[in-house]
Amino acid sequence: MLTTIGIAETSALQILGELAVLPDMLDARQWVAFSGLDPRLFKSGKSVEKRPRISRSGSRHLRRALYMPALVALRRDPYLRVFYQNLLARGKARLQAVVAVMRKLLHALFAMFRSNQPYDGASQFLRGDDGQHAVAEMPYAIDIGKIAGDFRIALRKPT
């Protein structure tokens, strides 16, 4: 869990404390529902339709424990940063995009626990059997250049 960008010891303990009570047979969507990050639709009749919001019916402690790691991951993980930038480009509000990153981190944690593998941000964005990255289809792409031993990340519009 500590291999995940943005999750350090304190947040890992908080997240593990909340996830430890879950049974082994749950899937990733049920983890998201337990955290309260799943969308809740509001409809009343034919005329009243409000925008979907997160349900908040789950663990507020887990949501709180995922918030700061999501903010750190936005700055440090190039794949999550592109995911976030693309949500903003599609017209989502900043907080909506942060909640989407929190949900993506929770899905990544689920995959890590099930496969017993360290975190790999690139694997979260693979689509289909051909192994193509979904990032290539997004409005922004990633340029990673190595400069003096340090990685520099630049977002660009794909050509």
What pLDDT band is residue 67 in, cutting at 50, 70 and 90? very high
Name the percent of the chain lying above pLDDT 70.
78
Which of 6 and 150 is assigned the larger pLDDT?
6
Which of 21 and 45 is assigned the larger pLDDT?
21
Using CA atoms, how far apart are residues 12 and 48, in angstroms rounded to an integer?
41
- End-to-end alpha carbon distance in the chain: 36
Q: What is the pLDDT at residue 145?
A: 47
Which candidate, 96, 99, 113, places its Cα nearest to that of 28? 113
What pLDDT band is residue 126 in, cutting at 50, 70 and 90? low
Average pLDDT over all residues of the chain: 79
pTM beyond cutoff 0.75: no
Using CA atoms, how far apart are residues 124 and 106, in angstroms rounded to an integer?
11
Cβ-contact 94, 77 below 8 angstroms: no
Using CA atoms, how far apart are residues 80 and 107, in angstroms rounded to an integer?
13
Work out the number of other CB atoms within 10 angstroms of the CB of residue 107: 16
Residue 86, both tokens? 């693309």
Q: What ranges do the domains of the chain cover? A: 9-124
Q: Which residues contact 155 (CB under 8 A, 6 or more apart)?
A: 81, 82, 85, 140, 141, 142, 143
Residue 135 DSSP one-character state: G
Name the percent of the chain lying above pLDDT 90.
26
Once rounded to an integer, what is the mean pLDDT over residues 124-135?
54
